[in-house]
Amino acid sequence: MPDSLSSWLEHIERIHPKTIEMGLDRLIEVRRRMGLHPSFSVVTVGGTNGKGSTCAMLESILHHSGYKVGCYTSPHLIRFNERMRIGKIELEDDAITKAFCDVEAARGEISLTYFEFSTLAAVKCFIDSGIDIAVLEVGLGGRLDAVNLFDADCAVITAIDLDHMDYLGENREAIGFEKAGILRKGKPGVCSDPDLPESVLNHARNIGARLLRIGQDFGYRRHADSWDYHGERERKKLPFPGLKGEFQLMNASTALAALDALGIPVDDTRIAQGLTDLDLPGRFQVLGRAIVDVAHNPQAARMLAMNLEAMPSARTVAIFGMLCDKDIEGVVRELKGKMDEWLIVKLDVPRGADTARLGIAFEREGVEGFRAFCSVSAAWDHACATSGENDRIVVFGSFYTVADFMRLIPPRRD
């Protein structure tokens, strides 16, 4: 067997020919062989945008409230260990490789994708560590995602938009049905999308899930220096979340609604600590002269545009790279007119869109004056050399784009 985490990850990538394979039948059998039956509560978080932020808030509030919390998210930016945390601390290599050994021994002839293998390993680590509650982020969709192997005591569905349409469907109704697959009969589901697809409402009705909707069952009110939450109970004068962006209040109120729905007692002091003690790299994160954001679909790009408008600067330079199977035109459409200069880059991954493909998107959207670079590093060097001290540089378009930048500039809090 592999003898290190890096060799295990190489092994896992080799054993399955596909990056994504929808369906739970293979996983159900491996789970049976492993005897994975969590005794802890599970919060499953699905949706298109806001999943990572909502998971981070749930994790932090629960941690500061004294619970032993396991959190599983994806993808990672720099280290695989970012995906698995207990007590807000990334798991050590040894714990992960031990769980990988257990999955490998149990799967036998059954082929598992990278994400499926990782999900089983994460839950094994959480069971072995005796956690109180797990926060599990859906990787793709919901209904057929590996995380959905484990029943949610509370399912959270964040904002829904067009993404992964090859797998999930061509419109919000079809995608909403896939996201709604994480709901369970008789269990609460908390939804932060104010324009929820009918498919989600219908599925909740059909299975008898208790759906709580933002704007109807819970919500928030913003003040100059604080915000109020209203839902099952009211909470006044809460501090703004440590993650930047107006939409983070929507994610924060969703997290609080989920905790209320679970009946988990948390007081306002612990909530305040949890909201302010947040660190989620790549979500409108300010790093010196740069702002990095993993926005890679039109809805996320629209949120990025709103955040940029709230923080005026002399000039804005974009370093932009995307995957070829994403809605590149849609992202450009949301941000054209917001950038003074575009520096486009080819990502060095199989699905990376080359600069010719990016250029076509700009031409289709009527955006002129972009310049092509062979890497994020080359674009960054150019941006630094040609930008003034009051200019900002926005690095976005993909997790890979942000990860490439993070390797150049070690993350830090400002």
Written as six digits, the tokens of 145 are 């995602």
* Exposure class string for 301-316: b at 16+ Cβ within 10 A, else e: bbbbbebbeeeebeeb
Task: Please tell me the predicted confidence (pLDDT) of residue 384.
Answer: 94
> What's the CA gap between 3 and 8, in Å, rounded?
7
Written as six digits, the tokens of 206 are 């059909």
Residue 66 lies inside a defined structural domain of this protein: yes
> What's the CA gap between 387 and 391, in Å, rounded?
6
End position of a domain, from candidates 276, 294, 311? 276
Token pair 């600590």 is at which residue? 273
- Indicate if 169 and 26 belong to the same structural domain: yes
Q: Of 14, 27, 52, whose CA–CA distance to 251 is shortest?
A: 52
End position of a domain, from candidates 257, 276, 295? 276
The answer, as to whether pTM is greater than 0.85, is yes
- Indicate if 77 and 211 belong to the same structural domain: yes
- Indicate if 103 and 236 belong to the same structural domain: yes
- Indicate if 324 and 243 belong to the same structural domain: no
In this structure, how many other beta carbons lie within 10 angstroms of the beta carbon of residue 93?
Answer: 15
End position of a domain, from candidates 211, 246, 276? 276
> What's the CA gap between 311 and 396, in Å, rounded?
17
Residue 225 lies inside a defined structural domain of this protein: yes
Residue 414 lies inside a defined structural domain of this protein: no
> What's the CA gap between 265 and 233, in Å, rounded?
11
- Indicate if 243 and 344 belong to the same structural domain: no
CATH number for position 333: 3.90.190.20
- Indicate if 219 and 158 belong to the same structural domain: yes
- Indicate if 103 and 120 belong to the same structural domain: yes
Q: Of 78, 50, 74, whose CA–CA distance to 405 is shortest?
A: 78
- Indicate if 255 and 304 belong to the same structural domain: no
Written as six digits, the tokens of 245 are 């962006």
Domain extent, residue 359, equals 285-408
> What's the CA gap between 139 and 142, in Å, rounded?
8
> What's the CA gap between 322 and 236, in Å, rounded?
41
Residue 111 lies inside a defined structural domain of this protein: yes
Task: Please tell me the predicted confidence (pLDDT) of residue 18.
Answer: 64
- Indicate if 195 and 232 belong to the same structural domain: yes
* Dihedral sign (CA 78, 81, 84, 87): negative
Stretch (H or E) spanning 86: strand 84-86
- Indicate if 324 and 191 belong to the same structural domain: no
One DSSP character per residue, 309-358 reads HTS--S-EEEEE--BTTS-HHHHHHHHTTT-SEEEEE--SSTTBPPHHHH
CATH number for position 180: 3.40.1190.10
* Dihedral sign (CA 44, 49, 374, 395): negative
Written as six digits, the tokens of 211 are 């759906």
For residue 75, say if its preceding peptide bond is cis, omega within 30 degrees of 0.
yes
Is residue 43 within 8 A of residue 258, CB to CB? The reply is yes
Residue 176 lies inside a defined structural domain of this protein: yes
Residue 413 lies inside a defined structural domain of this protein: no
- Indicate if 224 and 78 belong to the same structural domain: yes
SS3 325: coil
How many domains is the chain built from? 2
Query: Per-residue confidence of the chain (414 residues) as pLDDT tens digits?
Result: 788 999 999 889 887 666 666 679 999 999 999 999 999 999 999 998 899 999 999 999 999 999 999 999 999 999 999 999 999 999 999 999 999 999 999 999 999 999 999 999 999 999 999 999 999 999 988 899 999 999 999 999 998 887 666 656 678 898 999 999 999 999 999 999 999 999 999 999 999 999 999 999 999 999 999 999 999 899 999 999 999 887 899 999 999 999 999 999 899 999 999 999 998 889 899 888 899 999 999 989 999 999 998 887 789 999 999 999 889 999 999 999 899 999 999 998 888 999 999 999 999 999 988 999 999 999 999 999 999 888 999 999 999 999 999 998 754 444
- Indicate if 44 and 164 belong to the same structural domain: yes
> What's the CA gap between 18 and 111, in Å, rounded?
10
Q: Of 105, 136, 106, 99, whose CA–CA distance to 121 is shortest?
A: 99
